[in-house]
Structure 1
């Protein structure tokens, strides 16, 4: 079998062996299954490379084995020089996958020592170079960039949605690499708007005026993007159960304060001091939106900011508001559900996705107080070594900061997922769920999504009065999510395979 190790090719492999035969042999040697969708994907990719096409977008749903597909392509259609660009968090994982599946150690281009001493001779001697978006950006800013002057036969970009803005350094750095073929891997080619996809097509050198009409765009997508769903493929996964958990505001004071803060005006029954302090830390619309989101999680998340403001402005908001700032209505509901589910089945491991570090701390403390489960936090403040050790320890409950833990991790040993709050970008939740609900998952999986319900309306004195309904920030985010999901579904419909 042809491998990319720099050794003589085994004489047992016929010279006319097809890429698909080589792919099957690769899967067998790596002790991997051979699902139909991956074999079809390999044929699609190999035909493009052999026809000297510029590559394409691999947009299969998360958890369908895009990494294995690319490693198989490297074996099945050998090219002398391949560059792989990944987020920093996936550097170790890709290195291990290449070592385990290809029995080859890639040249990891990361760190100032290697980037400063990089030469064309070094690149020419390495069949596989693995680097990060950040390294690619840094080197690309130099006028004499060896990395960008070297001609690669193939470039693979994982989590390519990081390039959805064509004005960013990452997009420009990848675009200016010298390459014959470019493969962009992402389970979410559209994150916020259709322009996200256009930025990826731009990297493939497809002129934007070629898809101004939707019919033209559909044709371009079918030609240049491979996008399959688990449900429509040969992959058989256990049942996925979705649970939506609406939570009512616990006390009148909590609802009263939170409602006024959501509206951004008026006074609360707790007095002016707390309103003044809140207004003092909320001077811009985007900040107000963020603070309303934090209030839905728990007022404690804002307490430090308000304390600092009052210290600097000699005011005191705490009198009579202790109950409000100690309330953890949503987090109590999340922890109660985790603990009660553990009592029912203690073998199910749990992933809890959060937004804020303080939120993670409160949840961990709450669970450890109520139960006997092992709990750990996975967030952006950990080193790569610490993250690796935490994943290997496999605690009963793993609390993850969603922007740090939604990509690249393989956590099939977990089969309960808790989203404490909705996200503006539904793709983040899809990516997070795919950490465990992917090929290799053996158990029935449960997903719990929590949101604070809208504020109760006050009785109106006259029927002609305008409604005083106020939606919680969670509800507003949910509505925005649906708009983005509908747009993504339109793209899905264009590339049904």
Structure 2
């Protein structure tokens, strides 16, 4: 969660919708003689930062529509642009205004359009002025006659129709079915899965021109960038498989992998290859290994014929793939290897397997390694499961998956948009759909026009998603899934809870009102964050609130915490209390948490990159920072819980009554209780045990094997088996199957309704044969009810983006939302 416009401008996901053109500069593209990329006419070009360039850390390379490098922006200009780009103060787009002269060999003039948040206009202008660069702004003579007029701001437009063509295209793109080979796949697929398999297979074997390319008398031309080529552009093999959560995407993908061993006829029938055909494939694999002695031991390239599939997923999803393989495929027909933990470094060992499973973090950790065998294989297919994890295109794991070599590339996620349409750029980068895989092209062709209401941007995004994605919801799939009903249980707080809540809310209102009046909400970001969190905790269980902060909110003033290590430590404990805090720069859960002296929370890599720019300031409050102002948190905090003398909270008591009533109605019913607070799960264990329930716990402190064991044990039937699973969102929000349960309890509301949907869909998915009941536990007359109002607002804005996100939706909470939360 982040607050106010200043911090929103620093988040990569929201930056583009809030920036405007400052002006443009004229810079030369140099070094043309060293690169093969060419510009054929008046053409848009991609500007890509190269911070690791060995000759110039400020390097900005220039690429054409096919992502072939043309040259670099001249050094003088790059030295000014690069620090501003790296600190997220600006982003840039380029266009070559006219066709280069035939005799040009060394340089081409380029218009570089500069965009920034309005508040940063003056800083940006001074940066150019101080470095002797001429910035042409809108009121200058040069501006009106330049390409800048094409991209200046336009009126706003609603985005409710962004993904309209996806549904319209569904009937056209899915016109057949494929039955998976019975010799390999044991399960009977639903109709929607067989249709999905047809679509996946067709995408991998398509020879169609990519969107926005047309053939003419001179060859081929991209109608968006005006790039011309006499060579036919490669077809897009792969796409976005975005079926709703719980519709059996994993089994459909396993069926696709099984087709690698088959011949598929035009009418959709598949025949498993005979032994001699398989033998020929093995011979092909051996041929691919031929070469020098060094190549045999160190390299394995040109292996497209081997049809190996790499699956990248979170550790929690391993169990899903292994279970599906075990239960739905013929033993020994599809061989899988887990490239995780203690793993082989032998390329030829991996070649023995049809499927290699690995994690995003494993790939990210090996990003700089040249010996990683994963990189030495030309995969037939790479599947990114739960692919929304790479929404931050700057993260290590995003860079790692983008570098993988593959013929077919698949993005698989039920929530392809988490924060807004900018999330789709990281998916395009992985899919290598040129030119949209280059950020400056994405900004100029899609993101900026959408943000400014240009119908062309909307139309382009619609065309992209209609061509590249398949999305079916549970309602439209007609799979006979039992109904899901959602109920709200309003809980009256006890006298003591109400007294504590009212006292803290009164003080909280005073604090927040003061910050709003002074315009200093961002400067006091951590204080506001802690206030809201503590109010939410009281609604759930007063034991979640540390005893030394109950009496007053004064200790929450984290401002100027440089010389107050006890306050920094308290902030760390606050972080560890909650699961829904994100780094304001990358909008992802912080990795290697860093706390600044101004008491703001970031990923280590994000904040170090920010302060190493020429403008060394906190991205939230603009306070000057150096590396000495950054603090690492103490070791992982594990809450000590005295379960014996702890009185159940009002919510816990209400939960107990509901679960007991459910048991009376059906003794075999199983329930899942979700909470973002691990300490609450510990507090609930004792009263449930005393009431005669056998419970299991699934939380973020467990490794992947322990989580899999818990899920397996919970799935066991019998009178003596566990009936209640206490689950944290962090450990069980995605990728696991809990269909043995039929009742879900949400102990507190989450900001993002899509997160709640993910939790519910662990239970309401294919394999569920009972009606599912979801109960939201909401404290009356409290911040809980106001969070529900925010959820409704988000859901109304969410219709256009696969029914998950809205036109300008971000994960952050703005000032209007803050007033709603605090009832101001």
State yes or no: 1:197 paired with 2:424. Answer: yes
1:255-270 residue pairs with structure 2 within 5 A?
A: 255-260=501-506, 262-263=508-509, 265=511
1:344-423 residue pairs with structure 2 within 5 A?
A: 344-369=665-690, 371-394=691-714, 395-423=722-750
Residue 100 to residue 236, structure 1, CA distance change in 2 (3 Å): closer
The corresponding residue for 2:635 is: none
| Pairing partner for 1:25 from 159, 175, 182 | 182
Q: Contact (CA 8 Å) 2:185, 2:255: kept in 1 or not?
A: no
The corresponding residue for 2:403 is: 176
1:56-135 residue pairs with structure 2 within 5 A?
A: 56-78=239-261, 80-102=307-329, 103=331, 104-111=334-341, 113-114=342-343, 117-135=344-362
Q: Contact (CA 8 Å) 1:261, 1:292: kept in 2 or not?
A: no
Deviation, 1:376, is 1.5
Q: Contact (CA 8 Å) 1:165, 1:199: kept in 2 or not?
A: yes
Residue 366 to residue 258, structure 1, CA distance change in 2 (3 Å): farther
Q: In 1, distance between residues paired with 2:499 and 2:723?
A: 35
Residue 364 to residue 137, structure 1, CA distance change in 2 (3 Å): same
After TM superposition, the runs of 4+ consecutive aligned structure 1 residues lying more than 6 A away are 307-310
Q: In 2, distance between residues paired with 1:184 and 1:478?
A: 31
Q: Contact (CA 8 Å) 1:264, 1:288: kept in 2 or not?
A: no
Give 3-state SS (helix, strand or coil) of 2:738's partner. coil
Q: In 2, distance between residues paired with 1:170 and 1:442?
A: 37
The corresponding residue for 1:431 is: 758
State yes or no: 1:299 paired with 2:526. Answer: no
Q: Contact (CA 8 Å) 1:165, 1:196: kept in 2 or not?
A: yes
Q: In 1, distance between residues paired with 2:695 and 2:681?
A: 11
Deviation, 1:290, is 2.3
Q: Contact (CA 8 Å) 1:82, 1:155: kept in 2 or not?
A: yes
Higher mean C-alpha displacement, 218-227 vs 283-292:
283-292
Structure 1: segments with no counterpart, 5+ residues: 1-18, 267-280, 314-324, 455-471
1:146-225 residue pairs with structure 2 within 5 A?
A: 146-206=373-433, 207=436, 208=442, 209-211=444-446, 212=449, 213-225=457-469
Residue 305 to residue 164, structure 1, CA distance change in 2 (3 Å): farther
| Pairing partner for 1:36 from 188, 191, 195 | 191
| Pairing partner for 1:482 from 777, 792, 796 | 792
Cα shift readout 1:162-208 (whole Å, capped 9, x = no counterpart)? 11111211211111111111111111112232222332233222312
Residue 125 to residue 326, structure 1, CA distance change in 2 (3 Å): closer
Q: Contact (CA 8 Å) 2:505, 2:535: kept in 1 or not?
A: no
Deviation, 1:237, is 1.4
Deviation, 1:421, is 0.7
Deviation, 1:101, is 3.2
Q: In 2, distance between residues paired with 1:125 and 1:30?
A: 20
Q: Contact (CA 8 Å) 1:59, 1:187: kept in 2 or not?
A: yes
Residue 185 to residue 329, structure 1, CA distance change in 2 (3 Å): same
The corresponding residue for 1:237 is: 481
Cα shift readout 1:132-153 (whole Å, capped 9, x = no counterpart)? 1111111123245432242111
Residue 304 to residue 32, structure 1, CA distance change in 2 (3 Å): farther
Larger Rg over CA atoms: 2
Q: In 2, distance between residues paired with 1:442 and 1:419?
A: 21
Give 3-state SS (helix, strand or coil) of 2:379's partner. strand
Deviation, 1:265, is 3.6
Deviation, 1:285, is 2.4
Q: In 2, distance between residues paired with 1:152 and 1:264?
A: 59
Residue 483 to residue 216, structure 1, CA distance change in 2 (3 Å): farther
Deviation, 1:120, is 3.2
Higher mean C-alpha displacement, 124-133 vs 395-404:
124-133
Q: Contact (CA 8 Å) 1:95, 1:105: kept in 2 or not?
A: no
The corresponding residue for 1:450 is: 777
Q: In 2, distance between residues paired with 1:440 and 1:126?
A: 28
The corresponding residue for 1:10 is: none
Deviation, 1:87, is 0.5
Give 3-state SS (helix, strand or coil) of 1:25's partner. coil
Residue 215 to residue 248, structure 1, CA distance change in 2 (3 Å): farther
Residue 160 to residue 236, structure 1, CA distance change in 2 (3 Å): same
TM normalised by structure 1 equals 0.79
Q: In 2, distance between residues paired with 1:345 and 1:262?
A: 44
Deviation, 1:327, is 7.1
Q: Contact (CA 8 Å) 1:360, 1:377: kept in 2 or not?
A: yes
Higher mean C-alpha displacement, 485-494 vs 383-392:
485-494
Q: In 1, distance between residues paired with 2:427 and 2:472?
A: 18
Q: Contact (CA 8 Å) 1:65, 1:439: kept in 2 or not?
A: yes
Q: In 2, distance between residues paired with 1:238 and 1:97?
A: 21
Q: In 2, distance between residues paired with 1:122 and 1:107?
A: 10
What is the total number of aligned residue pairs between the two structures?
427
Residue 167 to residue 407, structure 1, CA distance change in 2 (3 Å): same
State yes or no: 1:45 paired with 2:200. Answer: yes
Residue 326 to residue 260, structure 1, CA distance change in 2 (3 Å): farther
Give 3-state SS (helix, strand or coil) of 1:189's partner. coil
Give 3-state SS (helix, strand or coil) of 1:417's partner. strand
Q: In 2, distance between residues paired with 1:375 and 1:163?
A: 34
RMSD of equivalent CA atoms: 2.8
Q: In 2, distance between residues paired with 1:282 and 1:332?
A: 34
Deviation, 1:160, is 0.8
TM normalised by structure 2 equals 0.49
Residue 189 to residue 262, structure 1, CA distance change in 2 (3 Å): farther
